[in-house]
Every structure is written in C-alpha cells, then in structure tokens.
Structure 1
Amino acid sequence: MKLVIDANIPAADACFGSAGTLHRLPGREIRASDLQNADALIVRSITQVNRALLANSPVRFVGTCTIGTDHIDLDYLKERDIGFASAPGCNAEAVVDYVLSSLLTVSEREGWPLLARTVGIVGAGNVGSRLQRRLQALGMAVRVCDPPRAEQEGASDFVSLDALMEECDVICLHTPLVKEGPHATYQLLNAQRINELAPGTVLLNAGRGDCIDGLALRSRLAGKGDITAVLDVWEDEPGIDAGLRDLVALATPHIAGHSLDGKLRGTWMIQQALAEQLGLPSAMPFNELCPPPALATLTLQSALPVEEALRLCVRAVYDLRRDHDALQRQVLDQGIVKGFDHCRAHYPLRREFATLTVRLLGSSQDLETMLRGAGFDVILI
C-alpha cells in the first residue's frame, strides 16, 4: 500500500508506517502525477484536493489532519466513492490558546484590562465553544453569534452579528468558509461592517481569511487607525497583502492551531479513520504518541495581579510575539510567499496550556480559579 503524505504532518511514520510505503511531499507540491500508484492521500489545509488532482489515480482514501474541509471537493470524493475523514476539534484547544495569548499581548501593549472587556465570538463550533467556556471561566462577558446553530437549536443564547458588533469590545472570528447560501461567511465582515466597527474595537481572525474584506480592513487601519487587528488567516495565502500585514497589531502565518499536541491529535484521528475504512490495524494510543513537555511545572509562591499571572503562565508555554516576529523576519529575507511558507514549514515545537502544571503556594492560591479557567492544570501546595 502506498500513502502520499504532506511532509509537515508529524508522527506520520508512527501512525502510518505499518500501513505501507510513505511518500512524503510538501503540501503545496503534491501533484496528480504523485498519486498514480497511491492508495491513500493524507494532507493538511494547503493542498487542494479535487478532480484535477485525483481524476486518474487509484486513491481509495483521503484524510485531512485539520478541522476545515474547504480545500476538499467533498462532492467529487462522494462521486468516486473515495473514503474521507477530517479531524474536527483536533487543534481547537491550540487555537483558543492563541486567542488568549493574543488578547493578553494586545491589552498589555495598549494598557487596558482584558478581563473587563466584552468578547464577541462569531462561530460556536469546536473552537468558538471552547473559547466561550474559557472566557466565561475567567469571569468575562461573552456574546456568541452562530445563525445556523441558533436556527437548529432555537436557543436564545445567540445574538445577531449586528448586535454583537454593537455590544462587544473584542470580536473573534471562528467561522468556516461558506461561499453561498443563507449563512454564507465569505466576506462576512465586508466594507460596510468594517466601517461600522466602534473605535477601540479589537478584531481577531483565526478562522478563515476570506471571511474579512482585507482591502476594507486595510483602508480602516490606514485611515482612521482607531481599531486593532490580529490576523492569523488571510486572503490569498501565502501571497498575503503586505500592506495589511504591516498595519495589523499581530500578524501570524496561519499557525493558531499549530501546537504539537493538536498536530499529533490530527494525525492520530486520521490514522484511526484510515484503519477503520480500510481494515488496517490501529496505531498506538494517543497518550503514548505525545512526548512530555519541556516545561512541566511552574511554581508561584505569592500572589500576583491576575492578568500579570495569566501572562506569566501563558508565555511560559506559548509567547505569540515570537510568531509575529518570525513572520516579519522571514518576509524581509525571502519575500511574502516564501517567507509565509517558511514559517509554517519550520514552525517550532509548541505545547498547549494544559501541558503545564502550575503549583500554587501561599497567597498565590487565590489565583487557582483564574488559572484553571485559562486552561492550566493547577495544584495547591
């Protein structure tokens, strides 16, 4: 059995090695000619899987080690009776970590208390719902907009996008890309909505780049300059808008979900699906796939202001400023396209907040609720 696999998928040998011969290629370089004798194709989000890629191949299974599926022609796979699996939720915790790290960084730079802000979450799927739980555990006010879920569930807990924009200081987008229909998300924040954002709003997009009108956002930032933007996803990746990148407060190369834990979870989930569909042996248990973290414990011996303590623990695990700075350096060295892809292909090891145990002594024990709410393991000593 031959498996063609994106070279950036971790633990491929451990998960798929027993299934057959692995042929590893950069995701953007996988071509139809590479699949002539392949039985399975395992990708991430940058490979467009469609008729042009698969038409003359014997591929029986396609797996994407990601949450999103907008890079997959699902109708064509169904037409060809090709098995398919994605990995919903595999990196959701990592994206929430990214959001908290971003917001703590922006609030520190701009000098306002994060915990006093009202956060609007657009899209209450795997990421949005987890973000909602963590923010509420921190005692923050949260509004959620998800029209499809509101229709299906008849719940009164959801608000409209217009109401969310009026009520919230921070807006976080976590929607899939839907180009047509009553709940299309393509350019959900169009020029009109971007112009209507209240001064001082923080806009964060870690969902899909095409959900924001990038030209309109660039115009708002370059003109009034009275809102703050954090972008991990962009239109036309990897050829992103250099002018927009220079204007946003934090610019990262689509890595919000790139924790080692999330990547390994995605690989493991696709291996499980492949084994089930093709009758292959399952891989090792997930907990055996994850290595121990470099920093396992951190001890606080006295109380700190809450947001200072949160920043300390967050940055001990993941300092998002590193990713922002790395993109700036690589773009200067290699240009937009190569620099963007270089950052993704050579992304350093990053763990999730849950891998850090925070030990609290004395007066620092007052921080237990907040640190648990943020996603850390906490022990009182």
Structure 2
Amino acid sequence: MNKMKVLIADKLSEEGMELIKREFEVEVKTGLSEDELVNIIKDYDALIVRSATKVTRRIIENSRLKVIGRAGVGVDNIDVEAATERGILVVNAPCSNTIAACELTLGLMFSLVRNIPQANQSIKEGKWEKNKFLGTELYRKTLGVIGLGRIGREVAIRAKGLGMNVIGYDPYISKTTAAQYKIRMTNFEELLKTSDIITIHTPLTRDTYHLIGYKEFEMMKKGVYIINCARGGIIDEKALYDNLISQKVAGCALDVFEKEPPENNPLLQLPNVIATPHIGASTKEAQKMVSIEIAEEVINALKGEPVRSCVNALTNTFQKEYTI
C-alpha cells in the first residue's frame, strides 16, 4: 500500500520533517507559484506552509488534500472557507511562537521609548548626540493590549513586571479570565483614549482589517506609541503615516506590513518608525517548536487521530472522524 504524501511548501525545521518522514512520504518544494502548486497539488494528501505560500481556493479545488497545516498561528494566507467546503482540515501551531513574539514586542517597546536603533546608528556614524535621544520611561505608563490571546497575555504579564498599568480589549475574553492575569478589561474606545503605548495581538480577519484608522487615531493621546507584531492590514498604513507626520503618534514599531516585503513603503522613510522583517517567530527555539507542533498535528490528522488546533468547523461525516 502506498504511503500518503506530504508536500512542505515553505521552509520547515528538520525536527518536524523527521517526524513526518517516519510516517509518510515527504517532498519539499519551496517558492512555488500558484500555477505551479495547482499543477502538482493533486498528488498530495497534506500540505504544510508558513506565511509565504498562499493557499488559494484554486489550489484547494484542484487538490485531494485531507489536511492543510500552517506552521505558525495566523491562517490568513489560507482560504479556510474553501478548505471547509471540501472537507479539508486546517490546523495550525498556536503555541510555539508565543514567547518569541512576546519578547520581540517588548524589545520593540524598549527600542521605541529609548530611541535605541537611532542612537546606535548615530554613534556608528561617529557622532556623540547624547542630548538628542531623550527617552521616556515605561514605569507607570499605561499599556493598552488589543487582543488577549496567548501572546497578548504574555506581553501583559511582563509589562506588569515593569511596573506598567496594563489595560486590555478583547471581545472574546471574559473579565474573569483577564482578572487572572491582573489585566483591567476595557472597551475599545477607552483603550485608545487612555493608553500611552498600544500593542496589537489580534488575527487579521474581516473584522480587524483596518481596525485602527483615522477615526481611531483621532481618539488617541498625543504622543502615543504603537506596536504591531501581529499582522499587516490591522492598521491603516496611510492613516498611520499621516499621524506620524503630524506627531500625534510619537513613534511606531512594525514587524508586519500590508504588503510584504514593503517595497517603497513611505513609513520606512520616517525617523520615528522602527521596522523589522516579520521576525516575530524567528528564534531557534520557536522554529524548532513550530516544526514539531505542526508535524504532530498533520500526522494525527492523516491517521484519523484527535487534533488539538483545528481552525475550521467541519460538519457531517468529517466532523465525526476528527476530534476538533
């Protein structure tokens, strides 16, 4: 009997690939276009991607896939609706990059308020501009956390340890849950109006696309700092640019952009913008963990065993076959 076949379309750490190879036939083909994937996808039972490969309806409808695995948290690069219609399980790895993304958020927060990248560049250019880089302390500042999932909660815990006042907004988290982490829940408008620093930790969905635009910036304090290590598109980049120019926003740190790579993005020309190339999960530990986590989920799905991180609600026969 032929082994089921798994296509790995984006780079995956060796630890995860070795797990899958023990059970199934594995092929690694990265950098494929949509047309190239459409032409070969019918040969595979499972597809594993990261954020680079877009799994479109066209790819899905030309497949015999049983499961699509996203090695990471966000699944906005996968047409989950199309997969669900065809009875294809979509699983992700929601736990593995939590600490990596949390720590990058904190690093960017310190960099913003103390002008660390700018001061580093200045001294490397042979300058000694000690008085130019007057910073702001985080102690007793109000941090507004939008999205209190795993990453948002870890950021909040560490911010409390820095002596910050932490408030949170998440329509899916109860006040009881938030209280366990000593986070005061508030509504969206109050968070915007009272936060000194705002950090975003929500998925990109129809509801969160341009969640922060001109109207929301208008509500914020003058001199607010913004951090986005979640997904590009949650902030309206044109509105952000205009509010940075007017200095309503004192500075922002972005690990994600609406278009990646962000070619000719005017935000990158501003001195009060810190940018990184979507490295939220880029630690050795997270890369190993995400590889193992998604490998285990795909293996369980193909073997008809329970999975822990299904992101689509399947029905009828397929729902009986898997524990969701």
TM-score normalized by structure 2? Answer: 0.78
What is the DSSP-based 3-state SS (H/G/I as helix, E as strand, rest coil) of the residue aligned with 2:13? coil
1:56 and 1:253, CA in 2 relative to 1: closer, same or farther beyond 3 A?
Answer: same
Compute the displacement of 1:56 (Å): 2.0
What is the DSSP-based 3-state SS (H/G/I as helix, E as strand, rest coil) of the residue aligned with 1:143? strand
CA distance in 2, matches of 1:239, 1:154: 35
Compute the displacement of 1:149 (Å): 2.1
CA distance in 2, matches of 1:13, 1:150: 38
What is the DSSP-based 3-state SS (H/G/I as helix, E as strand, rest coil) of the residue aligned with 2:185? coil
1:232 aligns with 2:235: no
CA distance in 2, matches of 1:200, 1:13: 47
Q: How many residues align?
A: 277
Deviates more, 1:155-164 or 1:89-98: 155-164
What is the DSSP-based 3-state SS (H/G/I as helix, E as strand, rest coil) of the residue aligned with 1:187? coil
Task: Report the counterpart of residue 95 of structure 1 in structure 2.
Answer: 101
Compute the displacement of 1:187 (Å): 0.8
CA RMSD across the alignment: 2.5
Deviates more, 1:142-151 or 1:252-261: 142-151
Task: Report the counterpart of residue 22 of structure 1 in structure 2.
Answer: 26
1:223 and 1:68, CA in 2 relative to 1: closer, same or farther beyond 3 A?
Answer: same
CA distance in 2, matches of 1:106, 1:51: 40
| Structure 1: tracts of 5 or more residues without a match | 282-381
Task: Report the counterpart of residue 45 of structure 1 in structure 2.
Answer: 51
Contact 2:104 2:280 survives alignment (8 Å)? yes
Compute the displacement of 1:170 (Å): 0.6
- Letter paired with 1:223: S
Task: Report the counterpart of residue 173 of structure 1 in structure 2.
Answer: 200
| Structure 2: tracts of 5 or more residues without a match | 116-133, 306-324
1:197 and 1:255, CA in 2 relative to 1: closer, same or farther beyond 3 A?
Answer: same
Compute the displacement of 1:80 (Å): 1.6
1:206 aligns with 2:222: no
What is the DSSP-based 3-state SS (H/G/I as helix, E as strand, rest coil) of the residue aligned with 1:210? coil
TM-score normalized by structure 1? Answer: 0.67
For residues 1-381 of structure 1, the aligned pairs below 5 Å read 1-11=4-14, 12-27=16-31, 29=33, 31-109=37-115, 110-150=134-174, 157-179=184-206, 184-224=207-247, 226-240=249-263, 242-247=265-270, 248-279=272-303
CA distance in 1, matches of 2:47, 2:302: 13
Describe the superposition over 1:105-153 as per-residue Cα deviations: whole angstroms up to 9, x where unpaired.
Answer: 2222242222332211000011101111121133321010112324997
- Letter paired with 2:160: Q
CA distance in 2, matches of 1:226, 1:154: 27
CA distance in 1, matches of 2:205, 2:157: 25
Q: Runs of at least 4 residues of structure 1 off by over 6 A?
A: 151-156
- Letter paired with 1:255: I
CA distance in 2, matches of 1:150, 1:189: 22
